[in-house]
């Protein structure tokens, strides 16, 4: 069973229960997006170093209408397949060019770790190294866009009561422990600080150190294996922190 299949077996009953109780809140919350769920590319399970990247939130992922239609028909697996296809084409992962986006950062960092190459221009990645990009896993701290992210949408009004009801309902299956149990990574790279740390790290006994003001390094045991957790700023914040993508990638590489 692949990591994705294992996650599907876990998540579908959770989604069914969630939708049976919180359908009205989701529809009435002001969301325009469906849930963004974690995924690993086909080379992940056999990679010598399983690296899982976690961002903050993902606006414009899949439409709420798409998710609602499929969930109402009990087609949860079909939604998962659609969810998994959003960033599957390599072209989608290159679409941000060399900006400090989540995808630019993890493409460059992933190859830096596995191939020991730093590509200043992701438009010139070799064919051999492109294969390595299908060995990563990714997800978000938030399955739904943050309320401050939604406020940037034109014409969107947030129902705070419904938003909080949905957000609270996601606690049981939207945390780092679920990622660990289903995808069993060797290294987790977390990019961003806008989340409830007690909630997201719940259930894990993490030993922390902070070798730099740009990175926190955690370590915890799962199935007699030590897993590394590297926690850095979201790429959009690098200029405010007086750093850049390459410097942060150097830190991630050195501790991964």
Helical spans, DSSP H, in the chain: 3-28, 64-72, 76-85, 90-93, 102-115, 127-132, 147-150, 160-169, 176-183, 197-200, 245-255
In the structure encoding, which two tokens stand for residue 253, read together?
């590489």
At residue 229, φ and ψ (nearest 5 deg) are -125, 115
Query: In which element (H, E) is residue 209 found?
Result: strand 207-212
Cα–Cα distance, 70 to 89 (Å, whole number): 23
Q: What are phi and psi of 254, to 5 degrees?
A: -70, -25
The H or E element containing residue 228 is strand 225-232
In order along its 256 residues, the chain shows pLDDT tens digits of: 999 999 999 999 999 999 999 999 999 998 899 999 999 999 999 999 999 999 999 888 999 999 999 999 999 999 999 999 999 999 999 999 999 899 999 999 999 999 999 999 999 999 999 999 999 999 999 999 988 887 777 778 889 999 999 999 999 999 999 999 999 999 999 999 989 999 999 999 999 999 999 999 999 999 999 999 999 999 989 999 999 999 999 999 999 9
Strand-pair category, 187-191 with 39-40 = unpaired
Separation between Cα atoms, residue 146 and residue 29, nearest integer Å: 12
Task: Give the alpha-carbon dihedral of 164, 168, 171, 172, to 10 degrees.
Answer: -140
What Cα–Cα distance (Å) separates residue 184 from each residue in 101, 147, 200, 244? 25, 30, 17, 29
Is pTM beyond 0.95? Reply is yes
212 contacts: CB under 8 Å, gap ≥ 6: 251
Say what the pLDDT of residue 150 is: 79
pLDDT for 149 equals 83
DSSP string for 137-192: EEEES-SS--HHHHTTSTT----HHHHHHHHHHGGGTSSHHHHHHHH--SEEEEE-
Specify the 3-state DSSP secondary structure of 93: helix
Backbone angles phi, psi at 227, to 5 degrees: -110, 135
């Amino acid at each position: 069973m692949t990591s994705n299949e294992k996650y599907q077996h876990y998540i579908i009953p959770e989604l069914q229960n969630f939708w049976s109780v919180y359908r009205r809140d989701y529809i009435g919350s002001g969301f325009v997006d469906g849930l963004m769920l974690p995924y690993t590319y086909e080379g992940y399970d056999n990679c010598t170093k399983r690296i899982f990247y976690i961002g903050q939130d993902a606006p414009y992922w899949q439409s709420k209408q798409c998710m609602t239609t499929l969930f109402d028909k009990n087609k949860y697996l079909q939604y998962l397949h659609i969810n998994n296809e959003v960033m599957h084409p390599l072209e989608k992962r290159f679409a941000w060019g060399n900006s400090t986006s989540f995808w630019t950062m993890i493409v460059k960092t992933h190859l830096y770790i596995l191939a020991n190459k730093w590509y200043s221009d992701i438009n010139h990645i070799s064919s051999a190294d492109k294969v390595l990009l299908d060995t990563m896993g990714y997800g978000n701290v938030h399955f739904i866009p943050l309320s401050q992210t939604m406020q940037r949408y034109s014409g969107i009004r947030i129902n705070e009561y419904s938003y909080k009801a949905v957000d609270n309902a996601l606690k049981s299956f939207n945390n780092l422990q679920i990622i660990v149990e289903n995808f069993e990574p060797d290294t987790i790279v977390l990019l961003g600080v806008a989340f409830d740390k007690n909630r997201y790290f719940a259930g894990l006994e993490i030993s922390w150190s902070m070798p730099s003001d740009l990175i926190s390094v955690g370590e915890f045991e799962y199935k007699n294996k030590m897993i590394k957790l590297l926690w850095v700023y979201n790429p959009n914040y690098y200029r405010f922190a007086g750093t850049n993508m390459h410097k942060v990638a150097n830190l991630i590489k050195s501790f991964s």
